[in-house]
Structure 1
Amino acid sequence: MPKVIWWGHSDLNYSRNRICRQLLQSLGYELIDFSPHISALADIEAHLIGLPLADLVWVPCFRHRDVVAATRWARQKHIPVLFDPLISAWQKRVYERRKYAAGSAAAQRWLAREIRWLQAVDMVLLDTEPQRQMFIQRFKLEPAKTACVYVGAEQPLFAPLAVVKQPSGPVEVLFYGSFIALHGVNTVIEAARLLAGQPHIQWVLLGEGSAKASAQQQAAGLTNVSFESSVPYAQLPRRIAQADIVLGVFGDSQKSSQVIPNKVFQALACARPVITRTSLAYPTEDSRLLKGGLVQIEAANPVALAQAVAQWASCSREQRSPARAVYDTYFSEVKLQQQLLAALASMGLSAGQA
């Protein structure tokens, strides 16, 4: 059985990590977890403990700091390295947190550092094609050393559930997340304000985050908007099933135009229609099917969001959405397996015997 070393202090319960681990195991790979005490010295620790040889070293998402030591050790053992960053450390600091100005010396140092990290590995795994193209151009990567695997949704956890809803009950529009700028929560609240005169449409914002308080202040006085605390991950599918429409993201940042957020995959897997900002990250092979379960609108446009919600709300619940068909066609586990197999094959690896 081929082996993969999962290298780094990663959150094994984070959905991207859970899905990638499940995919590797479904393809017949044995996972060897290695969580070094000090990332920068991890290769020394690996030597001291006698870390076993493997067919691949996998550095999981967000673990940029583990790349240098992982590649040092792997090169000595002639083992290829795959890095699944999910985000750019440079992009996050410059364009999301706005910690550094784009042309500042600090930003340029981060950019140079990330170029070294990414060019050191044998494969950089991204989650969408626009994100892949950005990484190729910004970090000067060889296209053949990059590949895409959608984030997806965990199966069978996220699946259609039967929830009893009164036919004449209110239409529930559900947003959930951590209230970061990428989400464009202000757009959601302003859209709800535009539909305040339609009490049969209720907006629920679920989750926690540092900007939640400001969102609650913005929504003060709106009787059609309510806030809920986060629910345990295992209970999220049932909460999604209680909603009629699920909202994606509406921010106008560069990153929000390049990604498909977790919630979009999860809602579609639960057979709930999604409204989100337009993005080239979504497949375009059959726009008729895609539009049936996924409505894309202009970013940061509360008028467009209000119109889209009102249009969906005017339909009967039975006629609303082939959302699960969209998920099965484009984002299923089989599709993700095929994407990962293609990435591994380009590295000279193949599926094991599961």
Structure 2
Amino acid sequence: MRVLGFGTYDTQRHPRVGVLLDGMRALGLDVTELVHPLGLTTAERVRILQQPWRVPSLVVRLVTRWARLVAGAAGQRPEVVLVGYMGHFDVLLARGVFPRSTIVLDHLVFAAGTATDRGTRPGLRTWLLSLLDRAAIAAADVIVVDTEEHGELVPDRRRKDTVVAPVGAPLEWFAAGAAARTGLTGRDGTSPLTVVFYGLFTPLQGTPVIGRALRLLHERGVAVRTTLVGDGQDAAEVRAELEGFSEVHWRAWVGPDELPALVAEHDVCLGVFGDEGKALRVVPNKVYQGAAAGAAIVTSDTAPQRRVLDGCAVLVTPGDPAALADALADLAGDAEALAAWRSRAAGLAGRAFTPAAVAAPVVDALRTRPNRRAGAR
């Protein structure tokens, strides 16, 4: 089966589609890529959609990349075209350029839901973004989502064409975890617990909950050293909560080449702690990546995270700083329990979060699906 990764995605910023493609290669598919990255983060894309006067700049950038994609597509006859993350527009192009190929849309993000999470009030803009979501889904033959909850947002008539595949982690995260475990002797119960969080400080991540939990630990005198990586919507509130705390280290950002090793150096990787909307439907990248890196995972107790993490992570009540503080305090005071949670997370990642494991349900769906290209060879 010939598979073409196609679009304006950037695996350095959003590694999910790279995980799928690597998994397809590992499962024996013939995978190539035709990619011209748009060069915008998710936050920048959402900002453009929230501020209509910025749309012309998006159009110019998109048309330039599309022209290159169309030129590069000449003569290519893939059986399957995989359109990567944030491919709402790219999938429309793919449908036109490859009318006889099976088009797979990696639909991790619903545009309307993401805009709402980033502060856009329901109205004309979210309605238009919902139309964009529906148009993207209509253009695809197979829709890939990351949780059953996101699958329920797909229109009923397209549920049969929807595949649930976890986000997973790139291979470099597993390599970082293996390297960190080499010669690891474990905590002796006297050194402080080390905790890391990285992200864009959006409401679904619930970072104010993290800030208040760290303040509670500080007030209790529990030794926890925390690295907070990133910036964004709620960062100012968290900074104000933790102002002057020497045990909290801030980093504006860490590049994708450095981030896996940084996370692997910590005992605990924090997930998300929002308590409404999208926060209750996702299993975030950092949960998969942190587990692959060998960190213990502490995240919110939601249906999708409970299902995916399967007893291999410490789950706390969403939106509850005291519950998060209690969980971290328990880990700080019990080196054996910490080691056990780290081992469980790494074991689960090795079984279920590798590229091959993530891509398997997608490949199974493709192999049982009639080929659009009649007689393709």
Shorter chain as denominator, the TM-score bin is: 0.7 to 0.9
The residue matched to 1:227 in structure 2 has which SS?
strand
Q: Are 2:141 and 1:122 aligned?
A: yes
CA distance 1:91–1:222, shift in 2 (3 Å): same
> Residues 43 and 69 of structure 1 are in contact (CA less than 8 Å); yes or no, is this contact kept in structure 2?
no
Structure 2 equivalent of residue 261 of structure 1 = 284
Deviates more, 1:260-269 or 1:151-160: 151-160
Distance 1:150 1:303 in 2: 29
CA distance 1:335–1:303, shift in 2 (3 Å): same
Structure 1 equivalent of residue 245 of structure 2 = 222
Structure 2 equivalent of residue 192 of structure 1 = 214
The residue matched to 1:206 in structure 2 has which SS?
strand
Structure 1 equivalent of residue 224 of structure 2 = 201
Structure 2 equivalent of residue 10 of structure 1 = 9
| Mapping of residues 12-27 of structure 1, within 5 Å | 12-13=11-12, 14-26=14-26, 27=28
Deviates more, 1:62-71 or 1:161-170: 161-170
Structure 1 equivalent of residue 113 of structure 2 = 91
Deviation at 1:239, TM superposition (A): 1.7
Deviates more, 1:329-338 or 1:239-248: 329-338
Distance 1:263 1:30 in 2: 26
Structure 2 equivalent of residue 148 of structure 1 = 164
Structure 1 equivalent of residue 43 of structure 2 = none
> Residues 43 and 72 of structure 1 are in contact (CA less than 8 Å); yes or no, is this contact kept in structure 2?
no
The residue matched to 1:230 in structure 2 has which SS?
coil
Deviation at 1:238, TM superposition (A): 2.4
The residue matched to 1:62 in structure 2 has which SS?
coil
Structure 1 equivalent of residue 358 of structure 2 = 336
The residue matched to 1:226 in structure 2 has which SS?
strand
Structure 2 equivalent of residue 352 of structure 1 = none
> Residues 277 and 298 of structure 1 are in contact (CA less than 8 Å); yes or no, is this contact kept in structure 2?
yes
Deviation at 1:186, TM superposition (A): 0.5
Structure 2 equivalent of residue 316 of structure 1 = 335
Deviations 1:212-253 (A, max 9, x none): 344222211334433234333233232223212211000123
Moved runs in structure 1, 4+ residues, more than 4 A?
36-45, 163-166
Distance 2:148 2:124 in 1: 29
Deviations 1:309-338 (A, max 9, x none): 111222115743222122234323442232
Distance 1:279 1:149 in 2: 18
Q: Are 2:99 and 1:100 aligned?
A: no
CA distance 1:34–1:184, shift in 2 (3 Å): closer
Q: Which has the higher helix share?
A: 2
Code of the residue aligned with 1:54 in structure 2: it is P
The residue matched to 2:121 in structure 1 has which SS?
coil
Task: Find 1:64's aligned residue among 61, 65, 88.
Answer: 88
Structure 2 equivalent of residue 297 of structure 1 = 316
Structure 1 equivalent of residue 205 of structure 2 = 183
The residue matched to 1:343 in structure 2 has which SS?
helix
RMSD over aligned Cα, in angstroms? Answer: 2.8
TM-score (norm 2): 0.80
> Residues 290 and 296 of structure 2 are in contact (CA less than 8 Å); yes or no, is this contact kept in structure 1?
yes
Quick one: percent identity of the two aligned structures?
22
The residue matched to 2:367 in structure 1 has which SS?
helix
Deviation at 1:264, TM superposition (A): 0.7
> Residues 129 and 148 of structure 1 are in contact (CA less than 8 Å); yes or no, is this contact kept in structure 2?
yes
Distance 2:72 2:360 in 1: 37
Deviations 1:276-300 (A, max 9, x none): 0112213649x8xx33x30111111
Distance 1:124 1:141 in 2: 12
User: Is there any run of 5+ residues in structure 1 with no aligned partner, and where?
Assistant: 350-354
Code of the residue aligned with 2:3 in structure 1: it is V
Structure 1 equivalent of residue 102 of structure 2 = 80
Distance 2:215 2:301 in 1: 22
> Residues 217 and 223 of structure 2 are in contact (CA less than 8 Å); yes or no, is this contact kept in structure 1?
no
Deviation at 1:189, TM superposition (A): 0.9
Deviates more, 1:333-342 or 1:122-131: 333-342
The residue matched to 2:359 in structure 1 has which SS?
helix
CA distance 1:48–1:227, shift in 2 (3 Å): closer
CA distance 1:126–1:169, shift in 2 (3 Å): same
